[in-house]
Amino acid sequence: DYGFLCLCVVDCVLCFSELHSLITTYTGIHGQTVAGIPEFSAVTTLDGRQIDYYDSDKGTLVPRQDWMKEFASRDTWKKDTKIREQVQKIYKNNIPHLMKRFDQTHGVHVYQRMYGCERDDETGDSRGFDQYGYDGEDFITLDLRKGRYNTSVPQATVTVEKWNNDRTQLDSLTEYYRNECSYWLRVFLKKSFVVKKGTLSLRTSICPDVTLLQKNSSSPVVCHATGFYPSAVTITWRKNGQDHNNVKIGDTLPNEDGTFQKNATLNVLQDVWKKDQYGCVVEHINLTDPIQKILTEDEIKSNNKSTIPTWVYIILAFIAFFMFVFAIILWKYRNEFKSGESYDLL
């Protein structure tokens, strides 16, 4: 059966790929919310699959894989839950401060941070990263080679100066990303491999949902695909039927339910795209024909509109693809590095 073979190939790639990743993403939301969308959430993934999850509604850190239950029985698991509770409070405090910096008084706003590492099994090389963002825009990034934070956003300058003046904390973070993160990546990979060895987990194939999103009329339009499995997907923008190059393609990111999301941003002003026909095309293994969304004002889900369904789309959009910047809570399974005291305070 062709579908069976496709799923086998996908899972084998996930299990035996030479490039592996351990990533934690924190998301804080301020403003109008809907049922089922927490104000704060934290997700850790191993090679794109969730291994633990926390949100402000549940209030506890939950293992997402059977083999992670071994770690959940340790005292460090309770400490990590407390750390996430602390960061939840910090995020709730930080967003109003950021709104003041950006002269914002209302609306839905999202503050995120993503940290983690990647490791190449063939070469043994590892790379750490630490990124913050606000409302889908780059905010602060850690340059591990120089051992300092950078920003191109004026509103973030005061924070970057404050963090860069703390040499002790910077050295601790640099040590974590260069060594500790890679260590735990290898530990988790070994645990997951032992559990999966001799078996092959098959999942239901799921087609993507595609939406065109725009914060306001002067913002770029984002083609957002979400809820698909397996993770391989192609998103392109076309102008009058031809591929358009002025596009920023985002990373493929995991959703809470094990599916994936991806976005492609069209860097064309509204006055320009109204003069031609632009469309977003999404291709996925489960689609008989590609999904195509023609860019029109009616097709866009905009933050300027005030209906409840639109707000739902906007909030989901913030959670789903505003992943350029993010939050750090360091794993504490081997030593006493205090990730709860990491750079979350502005």
User: Which pLDDT belongs to residue 342?
Assistant: 54
CA distances from 114 to 36, 249, 327 (A): 22, 18, 5
User: Which pLDDT belongs to residue 33?
Assistant: 64
Tell me the mean pLDDT per 10 residues along the chain, length 346.
32 50 93 78 93 93 90 84 93 94 92 92 83 93 94 95 94 89 88 56 68 88 89 92 91 80 91 91 90 91 53 51 39 36 58
Please report, in angstroms and rounded to a whole number, the separation of the first and last CA atoms in the chain. Answer: 54
**Closest C-alpha to 138, from 109, 111, 166, 115:** 111
Which CATH number fits the domain 2-197+325-341, given the four candidates 3.30.500.10, 1.25.10.10, 3.40.50.1100, 3.30.460.80?
Answer: 3.30.500.10
CATH 2.60.40.10 intervals, the chain: 209-321
**Closest C-alpha to 326, from 32, 27, 1:** 27
For the four alpha carbons of 159, 164, 166 and 168, in that order, the dihedral sign comes to positive
d(CA 273, CA 219): 12
Q: What is the domain class of 209-321 according to CATH?
A: mainly beta
Task: Phi first, then psi: give them for residue 344, nearest 5 degrees.
Answer: -120, -25
Q: Are 132 and 325 in contact (CB under 8 A)?
A: yes
CATH 3.30.500.10 intervals, the chain: 2-197+325-341
CA distances from 312 to 50, 106, 258, 317, 333 (A): 24, 16, 21, 8, 38
User: Which pLDDT belongs to residue 15?
Assistant: 37
What is residue 21's three-state secondary structure? strand
Tokens of 72: 């959940």
For the four alpha carbons of 90, 95, 98 and 100, in that order, the dihedral sign comes to negative
- The bridge status of strand 209-214 relative to strand 300-302 is parallel
